[in-house]
Amino acid sequence: MSLGSVAVLVVIVLLAGYAVQLYNALVRLKHGVTKAWSNIDVLLRQRHDELPKLVETCRQYMQHERNTLEAVVAARSAVARAREQGDVAALGRAESGLRAGLGQLFAVAENYPQLRANESFQHLQARITGLENGIADRRELYNEAVNLNNVRIEQFPDVLLARLFAFRSAELLQFSEAEKSDVDLKQLFG
């Protein structure tokens, strides 16, 4: 073998090694997005299971707040549909509606001292609030994983392998602008 042949062979081996390293990094990012989504999904399922208990507890006390309770139930169904379909954009919209409905429900509950004093209501309110905080934290981690994935599959030379092996960008989980804005207390208690 000539020195030129050895040099070409070394370059080919180095390029192949580099390509394998890039591919493995893209696979790790893709699975990082999947794992982050699974972490959100666990909390969404737990909250989904707690909401009927909360609505039933409230229904016993809040005879005149049927619309508020029905809005929470409808929003819960919308979140479940979006989650089952894996539609991140629809989930973001449905989550905004559910969070608004829960905010309204908890605000209206302030008008019912017996309900607020109910141990089951207090437990469910604390549990759902904890789940909401967990979802917010995990949403941040998910969006970071999505961002890392999306940036990497668009960078050169990663984009070449990403296109060759059909790596796809993922969608950020975003809530509506109303979700991010300050709560209008006058509207809640008016």
Task: Please choose, from the candidates 52, 121, 109, 122, the residue with its C-alpha nearest in 3D space to the C-alpha of residue 80.
Answer: 52
CA dist., res. 91 & res. 147, Å (int): 18
The pTM score is 0.78
Mean pLDDT of 14-25: 95
Instruction: Write down the pLDDT at residue 62.
Output: 80
State residue 177's pLDDT score.
Answer: 56
Structural domains in the chain? 33-189 (1.20.1440.20)
CA–CA gap between residue 128 and residue 42 (Å, rounded)? 13
Q: What is the mean pLDDT of residues 119-135?
A: 91
Query: What integer is the mean pLDDT of 97-117?
Result: 88
Instruction: Quickly count: other Cβ atoms within 10 Å of residue 47's Cβ.
Output: 21
